[in-house]
Structure 1
Amino acid sequence: MKKIILVGSILFAQLFFSQDYQITYNLRYREDSLSTNYINKNFVLQVEKDQTKFIFKSLIDGNKILDANTRMFYDLPMEQIVQHKRNADDYTNYEVIFQNYYSYPSSNPISWTIEKDTKTENTYKLQKATSNFIGRQWEAWFIPDIPIMEGPYKFRGLPGLIYEVKDSKDNFTYELIEVKKLDKTYDTSNIIETHFGTKPIAITRKKYEELKLNDYKNPYADYRSMSAGTWSISPSEGRVINTIAQLDQYAKEVQERIKRQNNPVDLATAIKYP
Protein backbone atom coordinates (compact mmCIF):
# COMPACT_ATOMS: atom_id res chain seq x y z
CA MET A 1 0.00 0.00 0.00
CA LYS A 2 2.84 2.41 0.83
CA LYS A 3 4.50 1.70 -2.53
CA ILE A 4 1.31 2.61 -4.41
CA ILE A 5 1.04 5.90 -2.53
CA LEU A 6 4.71 6.65 -3.19
CA VAL A 7 4.43 5.95 -6.92
CA GLY A 8 1.29 8.03 -7.09
CA SER A 9 3.08 10.88 -5.35
CA ILE A 10 6.01 10.72 -7.78
CA LEU A 11 3.70 10.78 -10.79
CA PHE A 12 1.77 13.64 -9.24
CA ALA A 13 4.99 15.59 -8.72
CA GLN A 14 6.21 14.88 -12.25
CA LEU A 15 2.90 16.16 -13.60
CA PHE A 16 3.42 19.47 -11.79
CA PHE A 17 7.07 19.79 -12.79
CA SER A 18 6.26 19.14 -16.45
CA GLN A 19 3.68 21.94 -16.60
CA ASP A 20 3.93 25.72 -16.70
CA TYR A 21 1.82 27.70 -14.25
CA GLN A 22 0.75 31.26 -13.60
CA ILE A 23 0.09 31.62 -9.89
CA THR A 24 -1.51 34.88 -8.78
CA TYR A 25 -0.77 36.42 -5.39
CA ASN A 26 -2.08 39.54 -3.72
CA LEU A 27 0.54 41.63 -1.96
CA ARG A 28 -0.80 43.76 0.88
CA TYR A 29 1.88 46.16 2.10
CA ARG A 30 2.67 49.45 3.80
CA GLU A 31 4.93 51.93 2.03
CA ASP A 32 5.32 53.74 5.36
CA SER A 33 5.96 51.38 8.26
CA LEU A 34 4.43 53.93 10.67
CA SER A 35 1.21 54.26 8.70
CA THR A 36 -1.99 52.28 9.12
CA ASN A 37 -2.72 52.50 5.39
CA TYR A 38 -2.15 49.51 3.15
CA ILE A 39 -1.77 49.10 -0.60
CA ASN A 40 -2.90 45.98 -2.46
CA LYS A 41 -1.30 44.87 -5.72
CA ASN A 42 -1.56 41.60 -7.61
CA PHE A 43 1.50 39.74 -8.83
CA VAL A 44 1.96 36.63 -10.95
CA LEU A 45 4.46 33.90 -10.19
CA GLN A 46 5.19 32.26 -13.54
CA VAL A 47 6.59 28.78 -12.97
CA GLU A 48 8.36 27.34 -16.01
CA LYS A 49 10.35 24.15 -16.45
CA ASP A 50 13.74 25.73 -15.75
CA GLN A 51 12.97 29.10 -14.18
CA THR A 52 10.43 31.22 -12.33
CA LYS A 53 9.48 34.87 -12.72
CA PHE A 54 7.63 37.09 -10.27
CA ILE A 55 5.87 39.76 -12.30
CA PHE A 56 3.61 42.72 -11.58
CA LYS A 57 0.21 41.56 -12.90
CA SER A 58 -0.41 44.90 -14.58
CA LEU A 59 2.57 44.14 -16.82
CA ILE A 60 0.83 41.00 -18.06
CA ASP A 61 -2.46 42.89 -18.48
CA GLY A 62 -0.68 45.65 -20.38
CA ASN A 63 1.19 43.15 -22.54
CA LYS A 64 -2.11 42.07 -24.06
CA ILE A 65 -2.78 45.49 -25.56
CA LEU A 66 0.70 46.91 -26.21
CA ASP A 67 3.30 45.82 -28.73
CA ALA A 68 7.06 45.81 -28.40
CA ASN A 69 7.37 49.18 -30.17
CA THR A 70 5.39 50.98 -27.48
CA ARG A 71 7.67 53.05 -25.28
CA MET A 72 6.13 53.31 -21.84
CA PHE A 73 7.19 52.67 -18.28
CA TYR A 74 5.33 51.14 -15.40
CA ASP A 75 6.26 52.19 -11.90
CA LEU A 76 7.47 48.81 -10.63
CA PRO A 77 6.56 48.59 -6.94
CA MET A 78 8.89 47.86 -4.06
CA GLU A 79 11.73 46.01 -5.88
CA GLN A 80 9.42 43.05 -6.47
CA ILE A 81 10.14 42.03 -10.08
CA VAL A 82 12.55 39.10 -10.00
CA GLN A 83 13.60 36.06 -12.02
CA HIS A 84 15.61 32.99 -11.05
CA LYS A 85 16.45 29.46 -12.14
CA ARG A 86 14.50 26.67 -10.51
CA ASN A 87 16.08 25.32 -7.31
CA ALA A 88 18.52 28.23 -7.13
CA ASP A 89 18.84 31.27 -4.89
CA ASP A 90 20.54 33.58 -7.41
CA TYR A 91 18.16 36.23 -8.72
CA THR A 92 17.95 38.83 -11.43
CA ASN A 93 16.15 41.91 -10.09
CA TYR A 94 14.42 44.42 -12.38
CA GLU A 95 13.66 48.07 -11.65
CA VAL A 96 12.61 51.25 -13.44
CA ILE A 97 14.34 54.45 -12.33
CA PHE A 98 13.15 57.61 -14.06
CA GLN A 99 12.31 55.96 -17.38
CA ASN A 100 15.38 53.76 -17.49
CA TYR A 101 15.09 49.99 -17.11
CA TYR A 102 17.77 48.22 -15.05
CA SER A 103 18.67 44.72 -13.91
CA TYR A 104 21.05 43.65 -11.17
CA PRO A 105 21.97 40.30 -9.58
CA SER A 106 21.49 39.17 -5.99
CA SER A 107 21.96 35.97 -4.01
CA ASN A 108 19.25 35.36 -1.41
CA PRO A 109 19.37 31.87 0.13
CA ILE A 110 16.53 31.18 2.54
CA SER A 111 16.39 28.68 5.40
CA TRP A 112 13.05 27.49 6.81
CA THR A 113 11.95 25.89 10.06
CA ILE A 114 8.94 23.67 9.35
CA GLU A 115 6.52 23.71 12.26
CA LYS A 116 3.95 21.11 13.34
CA ASP A 117 1.03 23.55 13.06
CA THR A 118 -1.51 22.83 10.31
CA LYS A 119 -4.81 24.35 9.22
CA THR A 120 -7.28 24.22 6.34
CA GLU A 121 -8.15 27.27 4.28
CA ASN A 122 -10.11 27.46 1.01
CA THR A 123 -10.06 23.62 0.89
CA TYR A 124 -6.23 23.61 1.05
CA LYS A 125 -4.53 21.75 3.88
CA LEU A 126 -1.71 24.02 5.00
CA GLN A 127 1.41 23.61 7.12
CA LYS A 128 3.33 26.35 8.88
CA ALA A 129 6.97 27.35 8.40
CA THR A 130 9.05 30.24 9.74
CA SER A 131 12.20 32.01 8.61
CA ASN A 132 14.44 34.95 9.42
CA PHE A 133 15.08 36.28 5.93
CA ILE A 134 16.24 39.57 4.35
CA GLY A 135 16.10 41.36 7.69
CA ARG A 136 12.59 40.33 8.72
CA GLN A 137 10.93 37.47 10.58
CA TRP A 138 8.43 35.60 8.37
CA GLU A 139 5.58 33.16 8.89
CA ALA A 140 4.52 31.07 5.93
CA TRP A 141 1.81 28.53 5.23
CA PHE A 142 2.43 26.10 2.38
CA ILE A 143 0.41 23.42 0.57
CA PRO A 144 2.12 20.00 0.85
CA ASP A 145 -0.31 18.54 -1.72
CA ILE A 146 0.96 20.89 -4.46
CA PRO A 147 4.62 19.88 -4.92
CA ILE A 148 5.83 23.18 -6.38
CA MET A 149 8.68 24.39 -4.17
CA GLU A 150 8.14 28.01 -5.11
CA GLY A 151 6.32 31.05 -3.81
CA PRO A 152 5.99 34.80 -4.19
CA TYR A 153 9.01 37.10 -4.57
CA LYS A 154 12.10 35.25 -3.20
CA PHE A 155 10.22 32.90 -0.89
CA ARG A 156 10.86 29.34 -2.02
CA GLY A 157 12.30 25.99 -0.97
CA LEU A 158 9.40 24.61 1.08
CA PRO A 159 8.02 21.12 0.26
CA GLY A 160 4.91 22.58 -1.31
CA LEU A 161 3.56 25.74 -2.92
CA ILE A 162 3.48 28.73 -0.58
CA TYR A 163 -0.10 29.78 0.15
CA GLU A 164 0.62 32.76 2.38
CA VAL A 165 3.66 34.49 3.85
CA LYS A 166 3.74 37.56 6.09
CA ASP A 167 6.26 39.38 8.26
CA SER A 168 6.01 39.73 12.03
CA LYS A 169 5.48 43.53 11.86
CA ASP A 170 2.50 43.18 9.51
CA ASN A 171 4.17 45.25 6.80
CA PHE A 172 3.89 42.65 4.02
CA THR A 173 1.42 39.83 3.37
CA TYR A 174 1.46 37.71 0.22
CA GLU A 175 -1.65 35.56 -0.26
CA LEU A 176 -2.50 33.04 -2.97
CA ILE A 177 -5.43 33.95 -5.22
CA GLU A 178 -5.29 31.53 -8.16
CA VAL A 179 -3.30 28.66 -9.64
CA LYS A 180 -3.66 28.42 -13.42
CA LYS A 181 -2.08 25.71 -15.58
CA LEU A 182 -0.79 26.93 -18.95
CA ASP A 183 -1.04 25.04 -22.23
CA LYS A 184 2.25 26.61 -23.32
CA THR A 185 4.89 28.91 -21.84
CA TYR A 186 3.63 32.49 -21.63
CA ASP A 187 5.97 34.84 -23.50
CA THR A 188 7.35 37.45 -21.08
CA SER A 189 9.99 38.87 -23.44
CA ASN A 190 8.04 42.12 -23.76
CA ILE A 191 7.55 42.72 -20.03
CA ILE A 192 10.56 41.41 -18.11
CA GLU A 193 13.41 40.45 -20.47
CA THR A 194 12.60 43.85 -22.02
CA HIS A 195 10.26 46.55 -20.72
CA PHE A 196 7.96 46.96 -23.72
CA GLY A 197 10.91 46.97 -26.07
CA THR A 198 13.49 48.59 -23.78
CA LYS A 199 16.31 46.24 -22.80
CA PRO A 200 17.50 46.42 -19.19
CA ILE A 201 20.82 48.05 -18.41
CA ALA A 202 22.83 45.49 -16.42
CA ILE A 203 24.30 47.03 -13.26
CA THR A 204 25.49 45.96 -9.82
CA ARG A 205 23.49 46.32 -6.62
CA LYS A 206 25.96 49.03 -5.54
CA LYS A 207 25.31 50.96 -8.75
CA TYR A 208 21.58 50.53 -8.25
CA GLU A 209 21.86 52.13 -4.80
CA GLU A 210 23.91 54.99 -6.27
CA LEU A 211 21.22 55.63 -8.89
CA LYS A 212 18.47 55.64 -6.25
CA LEU A 213 20.45 58.04 -4.06
CA ASN A 214 21.15 60.34 -7.00
CA ASP A 215 17.48 60.27 -7.90
CA TYR A 216 16.71 61.24 -4.30
CA LYS A 217 19.27 64.05 -4.13
CA ASN A 218 18.24 65.57 -7.48
CA PRO A 219 14.59 64.78 -8.22
CA TYR A 220 13.62 65.64 -11.81
CA ALA A 221 17.16 66.88 -12.46
CA ASP A 222 16.75 66.66 -16.25
CA TYR A 223 14.10 69.39 -16.20
CA ARG A 224 16.54 71.97 -14.81
CA SER A 225 18.50 72.08 -18.06
CA MET A 226 15.39 72.58 -20.19
CA SER A 227 14.19 75.97 -21.34
CA ALA A 228 11.27 77.57 -19.52
CA GLY A 229 7.96 76.80 -21.17
CA THR A 230 9.14 73.52 -22.71
CA TRP A 231 8.29 71.28 -19.74
CA SER A 232 5.73 70.79 -17.01
CA ILE A 233 4.96 68.28 -14.24
CA SER A 234 1.44 67.47 -13.05
CA PRO A 235 1.82 65.59 -9.73
CA SER A 236 -1.90 65.89 -8.96
CA GLU A 237 -5.11 67.16 -10.46
CA GLY A 238 -5.16 70.94 -10.51
CA ARG A 239 -1.44 71.32 -9.83
CA VAL A 240 1.07 72.13 -12.56
CA ILE A 241 4.77 72.73 -11.95
CA ASN A 242 6.54 74.58 -14.76
CA THR A 243 9.11 76.90 -13.14
CA ILE A 244 12.40 76.17 -11.37
CA ALA A 245 11.13 77.83 -8.18
CA GLN A 246 8.11 75.52 -8.15
CA LEU A 247 10.37 72.58 -8.94
CA ASP A 248 12.62 73.38 -5.96
CA GLN A 249 9.65 73.20 -3.61
CA TYR A 250 8.30 70.06 -5.23
CA ALA A 251 11.72 68.38 -5.03
CA LYS A 252 11.69 68.82 -1.25
CA GLU A 253 8.25 67.19 -1.10
CA VAL A 254 9.49 64.29 -3.22
CA GLN A 255 12.48 63.76 -0.94
CA GLU A 256 10.30 63.70 2.16
CA ARG A 257 7.98 61.17 0.51
CA ILE A 258 10.91 58.93 -0.51
CA LYS A 259 12.21 58.87 3.08
CA ARG A 260 8.73 58.31 4.52
CA GLN A 261 7.99 55.46 2.12
CA ASN A 262 11.36 53.74 2.45
CA ASN A 263 9.98 50.43 3.70
CA PRO A 264 11.31 47.79 1.27
CA VAL A 265 10.55 44.13 1.76
CA ASP A 266 14.33 43.47 1.81
CA LEU A 267 15.12 45.35 5.00
CA ALA A 268 18.67 43.95 5.13
CA THR A 269 19.69 46.02 2.09
CA ALA A 270 17.41 49.03 2.61
CA ILE A 271 18.88 52.23 1.18
CA LYS A 272 19.61 54.86 3.83
CA TYR A 273 18.50 58.24 2.56
CA PRO A 274 20.14 61.30 4.20
Structure 2
Amino acid sequence: MKKLSFLLVMFLSQLFFAQANRFMYQVTMKPDSTDRSFVKSEVAYLDISAGKSLFYPENRLKRDSLFARMRQTQNFNFDRDQMQSLRSNLDFIIEKDYGTQKKMFKSRIARDQFVYEEDRPMIWKILPETAKIGDYKAQKAETDFAGRKWFAWFTTEIPFQDGPYKFSGLPGLIVKVEDDKNDYSFDLKETKKIPEMVAIDQRGSEITVKRLAFLKQQQQFTSNPAQATAIFRGGGMRIKADPAHRKKIEERRKEEAQKNNNPIELK
Protein backbone atom coordinates (compact mmCIF):
# COMPACT_ATOMS: atom_id res chain seq x y z
CA MET A 1 0.00 0.00 0.00
CA LYS A 2 2.86 2.37 0.89
CA LYS A 3 4.56 1.60 -2.43
CA LEU A 4 1.32 2.29 -4.30
CA SER A 5 0.87 5.60 -2.47
CA PHE A 6 4.46 6.59 -3.27
CA LEU A 7 3.98 5.80 -6.96
CA LEU A 8 0.73 7.78 -6.97
CA VAL A 9 2.47 10.82 -5.45
CA MET A 10 5.30 10.54 -7.99
CA PHE A 11 2.79 10.33 -10.85
CA LEU A 12 0.85 13.35 -9.64
CA SER A 13 4.09 15.32 -9.19
CA GLN A 14 5.21 14.50 -12.74
CA LEU A 15 1.77 15.44 -14.04
CA PHE A 16 1.91 18.78 -12.20
CA PHE A 17 5.34 19.74 -13.51
CA ALA A 18 4.46 18.55 -17.03
CA GLN A 19 1.82 21.24 -17.16
CA ALA A 20 2.46 24.83 -18.17
CA ASN A 21 1.50 27.97 -16.31
CA ARG A 22 -0.54 30.67 -18.03
CA PHE A 23 -0.60 34.23 -16.70
CA MET A 24 -3.22 36.48 -18.26
CA TYR A 25 -2.51 40.21 -18.38
CA GLN A 26 -4.84 43.08 -19.18
CA VAL A 27 -2.85 45.39 -21.44
CA THR A 28 -3.96 49.02 -21.61
CA MET A 29 -2.51 51.32 -24.28
CA LYS A 30 -2.73 54.88 -25.54
CA PRO A 31 -1.47 54.35 -29.10
CA ASP A 32 -2.23 57.87 -30.39
CA SER A 33 -0.17 60.63 -28.78
CA THR A 34 -2.45 63.27 -30.34
CA ASP A 35 -5.55 61.82 -28.68
CA ARG A 36 -4.73 60.70 -25.16
CA SER A 37 -8.38 60.11 -24.37
CA PHE A 38 -8.35 57.16 -26.78
CA VAL A 39 -7.49 54.01 -24.82
CA LYS A 40 -7.23 50.46 -26.16
CA SER A 41 -7.29 47.37 -24.01
CA GLU A 42 -6.76 43.70 -24.75
CA VAL A 43 -5.63 40.49 -23.09
CA ALA A 44 -2.21 38.91 -23.53
CA TYR A 45 -0.84 35.59 -22.28
CA LEU A 46 2.47 34.73 -20.66
CA ASP A 47 2.90 30.95 -20.85
CA ILE A 48 5.74 29.43 -18.85
CA SER A 49 7.04 25.88 -19.03
CA ALA A 50 10.32 23.94 -18.98
CA GLY A 51 12.73 26.82 -18.69
CA LYS A 52 11.16 29.14 -21.23
CA SER A 53 8.22 31.47 -21.73
CA LEU A 54 6.05 32.79 -24.52
CA PHE A 55 4.24 36.15 -24.51
CA TYR A 56 1.56 36.82 -27.14
CA PRO A 57 -1.87 38.42 -27.56
CA GLU A 58 -5.01 36.42 -26.90
CA ASN A 59 -6.38 37.54 -30.27
CA ARG A 60 -3.48 35.79 -32.00
CA LEU A 61 -4.60 32.50 -30.46
CA LYS A 62 -8.19 33.15 -31.57
CA ARG A 63 -7.09 33.97 -35.13
CA ASP A 64 -4.96 30.82 -35.31
CA SER A 65 -7.94 28.78 -34.11
CA LEU A 66 -10.13 30.33 -36.80
CA PHE A 67 -7.53 29.61 -39.50
CA ALA A 68 -7.21 26.01 -38.26
CA ARG A 69 -10.97 25.51 -38.68
CA MET A 70 -10.73 26.95 -42.20
CA ARG A 71 -7.98 24.49 -43.13
CA GLN A 72 -9.90 21.60 -41.60
CA THR A 73 -13.12 22.41 -43.44
CA GLN A 74 -11.39 23.76 -46.58
CA ASN A 75 -13.75 26.72 -46.28
CA PHE A 76 -11.72 29.93 -46.60
CA ASN A 77 -14.68 32.28 -46.57
CA PHE A 78 -14.76 34.33 -43.41
CA ASP A 79 -16.53 37.23 -41.82
CA ARG A 80 -14.31 40.28 -42.38
CA ASP A 81 -15.84 42.05 -39.38
CA GLN A 82 -14.93 39.06 -37.20
CA MET A 83 -11.35 39.07 -38.49
CA GLN A 84 -11.11 42.82 -37.93
CA SER A 85 -12.25 42.38 -34.33
CA LEU A 86 -9.37 39.94 -33.77
CA ARG A 87 -6.69 42.38 -34.89
CA SER A 88 -4.20 43.20 -32.16
CA ASN A 89 -2.04 46.17 -31.22
CA LEU A 90 0.34 43.59 -29.77
CA ASP A 91 1.29 42.14 -33.13
CA PHE A 92 4.33 40.22 -31.91
CA ILE A 93 5.51 37.18 -29.99
CA ILE A 94 8.29 37.22 -27.40
CA GLU A 95 10.15 34.05 -26.46
CA LYS A 96 12.43 34.01 -23.41
CA ASP A 97 14.94 31.23 -22.76
CA TYR A 98 15.82 31.08 -19.06
CA GLY A 99 19.00 29.08 -19.67
CA THR A 100 20.60 31.34 -22.27
CA GLN A 101 18.83 34.52 -21.05
CA LYS A 102 17.92 35.28 -24.66
CA LYS A 103 14.79 37.24 -25.53
CA MET A 104 13.60 36.70 -29.09
CA PHE A 105 11.11 39.15 -30.62
CA LYS A 106 9.00 37.92 -33.56
CA SER A 107 6.72 40.03 -35.71
CA ARG A 108 5.22 39.77 -39.16
CA ILE A 109 6.09 42.27 -41.90
CA ALA A 110 4.13 41.69 -45.11
CA ARG A 111 4.34 37.95 -45.74
CA ASP A 112 7.46 37.19 -43.70
CA GLN A 113 8.12 36.55 -40.02
CA PHE A 114 11.04 38.67 -38.77
CA VAL A 115 12.99 37.66 -35.65
CA TYR A 116 15.57 39.53 -33.65
CA GLU A 117 17.32 39.01 -30.33
CA GLU A 118 16.85 41.81 -27.81
CA ASP A 119 20.29 43.35 -27.38
CA ARG A 120 19.66 45.87 -24.58
CA PRO A 121 20.02 44.83 -20.92
CA MET A 122 17.18 45.60 -18.54
CA ILE A 123 18.74 47.02 -15.37
CA TRP A 124 16.38 47.18 -12.40
CA LYS A 125 16.50 49.24 -9.22
CA ILE A 126 14.49 47.52 -6.48
CA LEU A 127 12.69 50.02 -4.25
CA PRO A 128 11.61 49.54 -0.60
CA GLU A 129 7.93 50.23 -1.32
CA THR A 130 5.54 47.27 -1.00
CA ALA A 131 1.83 46.88 -1.69
CA LYS A 132 -0.90 44.30 -2.14
CA ILE A 133 -1.44 43.87 -5.89
CA GLY A 134 -4.43 41.64 -6.46
CA ASP A 135 -3.92 38.58 -4.27
CA TYR A 136 -0.17 39.02 -3.95
CA LYS A 137 2.22 40.90 -1.73
CA ALA A 138 4.42 42.80 -4.17
CA GLN A 139 7.48 45.04 -4.15
CA LYS A 140 8.22 47.96 -6.44
CA ALA A 141 11.10 48.30 -8.89
CA GLU A 142 12.02 50.68 -11.69
CA THR A 143 13.99 50.63 -14.91
CA ASP A 144 14.68 52.77 -17.95
CA PHE A 145 14.14 50.81 -21.14
CA ALA A 146 13.63 51.74 -24.80
CA GLY A 147 12.98 55.40 -24.13
CA ARG A 148 10.55 55.00 -21.23
CA LYS A 149 10.79 54.84 -17.45
CA TRP A 150 8.93 51.81 -16.13
CA PHE A 151 7.64 50.96 -12.66
CA ALA A 152 7.03 47.30 -11.91
CA TRP A 153 5.53 45.37 -9.01
CA PHE A 154 6.83 41.84 -8.52
CA THR A 155 5.93 39.06 -6.12
CA THR A 156 8.17 36.34 -4.73
CA GLU A 157 5.02 34.29 -4.07
CA ILE A 158 5.21 33.21 -7.73
CA PRO A 159 8.78 31.92 -8.25
CA PHE A 160 9.25 32.89 -11.90
CA GLN A 161 11.70 35.71 -12.67
CA ASP A 162 9.62 36.79 -15.63
CA GLY A 163 6.85 39.13 -16.67
CA PRO A 164 4.86 40.45 -19.62
CA TYR A 165 6.43 41.78 -22.81
CA LYS A 166 10.26 41.89 -22.52
CA PHE A 167 10.19 42.52 -18.78
CA SER A 168 12.10 40.00 -16.62
CA GLY A 169 15.00 39.72 -14.22
CA LEU A 170 13.33 40.54 -10.90
CA PRO A 171 13.24 38.00 -8.01
CA GLY A 172 9.65 36.96 -8.73
CA LEU A 173 6.86 37.33 -11.25
CA ILE A 174 5.94 40.86 -12.37
CA VAL A 175 2.24 41.29 -11.62
CA LYS A 176 2.00 44.90 -12.76
CA VAL A 177 4.19 47.19 -14.86
CA GLU A 178 3.47 50.65 -16.27
CA ASP A 179 5.41 53.57 -17.70
CA ASP A 180 5.62 56.91 -15.93
CA LYS A 181 3.44 58.65 -18.55
CA ASN A 182 0.65 56.11 -18.11
CA ASP A 183 0.73 55.24 -21.82
CA TYR A 184 1.13 51.49 -21.33
CA SER A 185 0.28 49.17 -18.46
CA PHE A 186 0.26 45.39 -17.96
CA ASP A 187 -1.85 44.04 -15.09
CA LEU A 188 -2.03 40.39 -14.06
CA LYS A 189 -5.70 39.35 -13.92
CA GLU A 190 -5.74 35.57 -13.83
CA THR A 191 -3.50 32.51 -13.59
CA LYS A 192 -4.18 28.91 -14.52
CA LYS A 193 -2.59 25.61 -15.47
CA ILE A 194 -2.67 24.49 -19.10
CA PRO A 195 -1.68 21.06 -20.46
CA GLU A 196 1.20 22.44 -22.52
CA MET A 197 2.46 25.59 -24.18
CA VAL A 198 0.71 26.46 -27.40
CA ALA A 199 2.36 26.12 -30.79
CA ILE A 200 1.90 29.48 -32.47
CA ASP A 201 1.07 29.19 -36.17
CA GLN A 202 4.02 30.80 -37.98
CA ARG A 203 3.04 31.54 -41.57
CA GLY A 204 5.59 32.75 -44.11
CA SER A 205 9.38 32.60 -44.10
CA GLU A 206 11.25 33.29 -40.86
CA ILE A 207 14.03 35.86 -41.28
CA THR A 208 16.50 36.50 -38.45
CA VAL A 209 17.95 40.00 -38.37
CA LYS A 210 19.50 42.47 -35.95
CA ARG A 211 17.09 44.67 -33.99
CA LEU A 212 18.02 47.87 -35.85
CA ALA A 213 17.59 46.11 -39.19
CA PHE A 214 14.12 45.02 -38.14
CA LEU A 215 13.16 48.57 -37.18
CA LYS A 216 14.40 49.84 -40.55
CA GLN A 217 12.41 47.18 -42.40
CA GLN A 218 9.32 47.93 -40.34
CA GLN A 219 9.60 51.64 -41.05
CA GLN A 220 10.00 51.03 -44.78
CA PHE A 221 6.89 48.87 -44.85
CA THR A 222 4.88 51.39 -42.82
CA SER A 223 5.80 54.22 -45.16
CA ASN A 224 5.21 52.12 -48.29
CA PRO A 225 2.57 49.43 -47.68
CA ALA A 226 2.26 48.91 -51.45
CA GLN A 227 5.19 46.51 -51.06
CA ALA A 228 2.65 43.96 -49.85
CA THR A 229 1.29 42.69 -53.15
CA ALA A 230 -0.74 39.82 -51.81
CA ILE A 231 -2.89 38.87 -48.86
CA PHE A 232 -2.51 35.56 -47.10
CA ARG A 233 -5.26 33.35 -45.80
CA GLY A 234 -5.17 29.95 -44.19
CA GLY A 235 -2.03 27.91 -43.62
CA GLY A 236 0.41 29.52 -46.02
CA MET A 237 -2.19 29.76 -48.78
CA ARG A 238 -1.60 32.85 -50.94
CA ILE A 239 -4.42 34.61 -52.75
CA LYS A 240 -3.72 37.60 -55.00
CA ALA A 241 -5.66 40.70 -54.05
CA ASP A 242 -7.43 42.62 -56.78
CA PRO A 243 -6.16 46.21 -57.27
CA ALA A 244 -9.20 47.83 -55.65
CA HIS A 245 -8.95 45.65 -52.55
CA ARG A 246 -5.17 46.12 -52.38
CA LYS A 247 -5.62 49.89 -52.49
CA LYS A 248 -8.13 49.64 -49.64
CA ILE A 249 -5.62 47.63 -47.59
CA GLU A 250 -2.89 50.20 -48.25
CA GLU A 251 -5.15 53.09 -47.22
CA ARG A 252 -6.15 51.27 -44.05
CA ARG A 253 -2.51 50.61 -43.15
CA LYS A 254 -1.56 54.25 -43.66
CA GLU A 255 -4.47 55.36 -41.49
CA GLU A 256 -3.51 52.87 -38.77
CA ALA A 257 0.10 54.06 -38.88
CA GLN A 258 -1.02 57.66 -38.34
CA LYS A 259 -3.11 56.67 -35.31
CA ASN A 260 -0.44 54.35 -33.85
CA ASN A 261 2.23 56.99 -33.38
CA ASN A 262 2.98 56.23 -29.72
CA PRO A 263 4.75 52.84 -29.72
CA ILE A 264 5.70 51.01 -26.57
CA GLU A 265 9.36 51.50 -27.48
CA LEU A 266 10.34 55.10 -28.26
CA LYS A 267 13.94 54.35 -29.15
**Structure 2-normalised TM-score?**
0.73
Aligned length: 231
Cα separation, 1, equivalents of 2:265 and 2:140: 22
Candidates 180, 187, 198, aligned match of 1:187: 198
Q: Which runs of 5+ in 1 are unaligned?
A: 1-14, 224-228, 235-240, 269-274
Task: Report the secondary structure of 1:233's partner residue.
Answer: helix
AA partner of residue 266 (structure 1): E
AA partner of residue 21 (structure 1): N
Task: Report the secondary structure of 1:207's partner residue.
Answer: helix
Counterpart of 1:27 in structure 2 is 27
Counterpart of 2:141 in structure 1 is 129
Cα separation, 2, equivalents of 1:68 and 1:108: 39
Cα pair distance change 1:136/1:17, threshold 3 Å: farther
Q: Which runs of 5+ in 2 are unaligned?
A: 1-14, 230-240
Cα pair distance change 1:138/1:230, threshold 3 Å: closer
What does the per-residue CA deviation read over 1:25-62, in whole Å, with 9 as the maximum and x for residues that have no partner? 11101111232211111111111112111111122233
Contact map agreement 1:80 1:153 (CA 8 A) in 2: no
Does 141-150 or 206-215 show the bigger shift?
206-215
Counterpart of 1:202 in structure 2 is 208
Alignment of 1:46-61 (within 5 A): 46-61=47-62
Counterpart of 1:115 in structure 2 is 127
Verify: 1:216 aligned to 2:222, yes or no: yes
Cα separation, 2, equivalents of 1:20 and 1:147: 14
Cα pair distance change 1:173/1:32, threshold 3 Å: same
Counterpart of 1:267 in structure 2 is 266
AA partner of residue 26 (structure 2): N
Instruction: Give, in angstroms, the shift of residue 82 of structure 1.
Output: 0.9
What does the per-residue CA deviation read over 1:146-166, in whole Å, with 9 as the maximum and x for residues that have no partner? 111110011111111111000
AA partner of residue 101 (structure 1): Q
4+ aligned runs moved over 3 Å, structure 1 = 15-19, 62-66, 68-76, 253-257
What does the per-residue CA deviation read over 1:232-271, in whole Å, with 9 as the maximum and x for residues that have no partner? 238xxxxxx57xxxx9xx75x8546524522221222xxx
AA partner of residue 28 (structure 1): T
Cα pair distance change 1:230/1:33, threshold 3 Å: closer
Contact map agreement 1:91 1:108 (CA 8 A) in 2: no
Cα separation, 1, equivalents of 2:153 and 2:16: 19
Candidates 240, 245, 256, aligned match of 1:233: 245
Verify: 1:157 aligned to 2:177, yes or no: no
Cα separation, 1, equivalents of 2:258 and 2:242: 30
C-alpha RMSD of matched pairs (Å): 3.3
Counterpart of 1:272 in structure 2 is none
AA partner of residue 56 (structure 1): P
Cα separation, 1, equivalents of 2:100 and 2:225: 37
Counterpart of 2:3 in structure 1 is none
AA partner of residue 29 (structure 1): M
Counterpart of 1:168 in structure 2 is 180
Counterpart of 1:8 in structure 2 is none
Sequence identity percentage: 25
